[in-house]
Amino acid sequence: MFTQLLHFWTPALLGFPPLLEPLLLAELKPGRPHQFDWKSSCETWSVAFSPDGSWFAWSQGHCIVKLIPWPLEEQFIPKGFEAKSRSSKNDTKGRGSPKEKTLDCGQIVWGLAFSPWPSPPSRKLWARHHPQVPDISCLILATGLNDGQIKIWEVQTGLLLLNLSGHQDVVRDLSFTPSGSLILVSASRDKTLRIWDLNKHGKQIQVLSGHLQWVYCCSISPDCSMLCSAAGEKSVFLWSMRSYTLIRKLEGHQSSVVSCDFSPDSALLVTASYDTNVIMWDPYTGERLRFLHHTQLDPPMDDSDVHISSLRSVCFSPEGLYLATVADDRLLRIWALELKTPIAFAPMTNGLCCTFFPHGGVIATGTRDGHVQFWTAPRVLSSLKHLCRKALRSFLTTYQVLALPIPKKMKEFLTYRTF
Amino acid sequence: MYIKLVSSDGHEFIVKREHALTLGTRKAMLRGPEIPSCVLSKACTYFTYKFCYTNSSTVIPEFPIAPETALELLMTVTFLDP
């Protein structure tokens, strides 16, 4: 049970011209029977949408994960009104009315990831040829826990399917391969990443060692070829998802790297650090393409007022033209790829994580006190040039682009050196 | 208020003038390169897509482009609208 509040509010833009500022659409707060207590782990460390956009998951602290069907509107219809507004149609949703689920994980939940579902045709073909393996043809949520366990849940029913053991410390982040092959990657404070095969009852198939400090984040490229991991020793590692070996180390950050994300066409990688920078990389060559520096908007009144703009989270928008960042200076920023300064800001205290709704239009953020907010995201109609670039880069590496018999300017455009 | 765009392999695409009339298409009509129909049809579809969703408030759907068409389409668009 939780209380809900609906706010409509245009945030002050602190003197900047108002351009596409994120509007707060809704805020969800967990209803807690006991007193609010900073020490008892009430943070929302992770938020996630299922890849088909039908569910939203939120680790609301106190060991609880909430699963909410998306879109949210139905939740706000008070009882008694339902009959009037739906008098002409019986429950027409094919699968009935999916209700929210509460998952009690028994300990602090740090990482969340949905599996891709419905399964792509390639997976259904695979399952037909492997009849001895149970076909997990349902939407799955993986939860990374405080003691290193990973619990695998079936979303529709809220049932616990599997318990994966192996990590020795907090599982901070999780990522499923986008192909639907049910391979799961986990990132942990025990300095390793692990690869799990959910087709084989969660068998651990590989341990990736090499990081020297906590691994904060992992992300698999949409073309499933690369895995990115970000850690406390300031480095970012790129691994091959085919051989599970290290491809390269990306150096450039000056402090712990805590968040990473690939662009939808796998051509770009962004990483966010406590050093107040987001770096945009070409993952194929390791080149740094952009530094997005998070500076103070107002000069501080005195030393005690200095807010350090450590980054907490960065994510790409679904069409690949914008980034959202959450920083400790209490701002949610929206960036357009080709510009060096943000295009919009919204005040957001104690933000920890952010993610875009897969079909665009909404950004979800989670905070230290267990709340979740939903913000409007810029509505984007991609240019035909960008759509072509995205289509090409979804299967061409940077080196393949450079080998094409096309003019230099077009190569620069396709490799995101120019926009 | 329609214009006709003709591809290199003889297909004719009749589109609304207001959808298609950018500097690029004017250029193409005067002295353009030969554009194959698979590319031209995709460009025409994009004109309509852009017109439909530019001033509406509905969710903008994805605009898929087949990989085999993408390169030629990009080169055509770059030529028409550098």
Would the CB atoms of A381 and B53 count as touching at under 8 Å? yes
pTM: 0.86
In a domain, A158, yes or no: yes
Q: Are residues A283 and A341 in the same domain?
A: yes
Mapped onto helix, strand or coil, the DSSP state of residue A75 is: helix
Percent of the residues in chain B that have a pLDDT greater than 90, as a whole number:
22
B66 at the A interface (CB within 8 A)? yes
In a domain, A85, yes or no: no
Smallest Cβ–Cβ distance between A391 and the set B60, B65, B77 belongs to: B65
- Cα three-residue angle B28-B34-B35, rounded to 5 degrees: 80
What pLDDT does B80 receive?
75
Q: Which residues of chain A have a CB within 8 Å of the CB of B50? A: 381
Helix B37-54 vs helix A384-393: crossing angle, to nearest 10: 120
In a domain, A264, yes or no: yes
Q: Are residues A236 and A358 in the same domain?
A: yes
Which is higher by pLDDT, B19 or A269? Answer: A269
pLDDT, mean over chain B = 81
Type of residue numbered A128: R
- Distance set, CA A280 to CA A241, A322, A409, B72 (Å): 21, 12, 20, 28
ipTM computed for the complex = 0.85
In a domain, A12, yes or no: no
Spatial neighbors of A56 by CB under 8 A, at least 6 apart, are A47, A48, A49, A50, A67, A68, A69, A70, A72, A364
Would the CB atoms of B70 and A360 count as touching at under 8 Å? no
Smallest Cβ–Cβ distance between B67 and the set A360, A389, A391 belongs to: A391
Q: Are residues A40 and A119 in the same domain?
A: yes
In a domain, A81, yes or no: no
Would the CB atoms of B78 and A410 count as touching at under 8 Å? yes
Q: Are residues A374 and A261 in the same domain?
A: yes
In a domain, A83, yes or no: no
Question: How far apart, in whole angstroms, are the C-alpha atoms of residue A229 and residue A216?
Answer: 8
B52 at the A interface (CB within 8 A)? no
- Label residue A77 left, alpha or beta by phi (over 0 means left) and psi (-120 to 50 means alpha): beta
**Which residues span the domain enclosing A340?**
24-72+98-380
What pLDDT does B29 receive?
60
Smallest Cβ–Cβ distance between B71 and the set A379, A392, A413 belongs to: A392
The answer to whether A156 and A72 are in contact (CB under 8 A) is no
In a domain, A236, yes or no: yes
What pLDDT does A119 receive?
64
Q: Which residues of chain B have a CB within 8 Å of the CB of A414? A: 74
Smallest Cβ–Cβ distance between A361 and the set B59, B74, B78 belongs to: B59
In a domain, A6, yes or no: no
The topology (CATH level 3) of B2-80 is Potassium Channel Kv1.1; Chain A (3.30.710)
Q: Are residues A376 and A387 in the same domain?
A: no
Q: Are residues A311 and A391 in the same domain?
A: no
Which is higher by pLDDT, B19 or A91? Answer: B19
- Domain definitions of chain B by residue range: 2-80
Q: Which residues of chain A have a CB within 8 Å of the CB of B63? A: 382, 387
What pLDDT does B13 receive?
84
Q: Are residues A230 and A273 in the same domain?
A: yes
Q: Are residues A332 and A389 in the same domain?
A: no
What pLDDT does A304 receive?
45
Q: Which residue of B has its CA nearest to A320?
A: B62
The domain total for chain A is 2
What pLDDT does B4 receive?
81
The CATH number of the domain holding residue A235 is: 2.130.10.10
Q: Which residues of chain A have a CB within 8 Å of the CB of B56? A: none
- Which residues of chain A carry a pLDDT beneath 50? 1-19, 34-35, 76-97, 304-307
Extract the tokens encoding B27: 């250029």
Q: Are residues A237 and A301 in the same domain?
A: yes
Q: Are residues A308 and A406 in the same domain?
A: no
Extract the tokens encoding A307: 């807010």
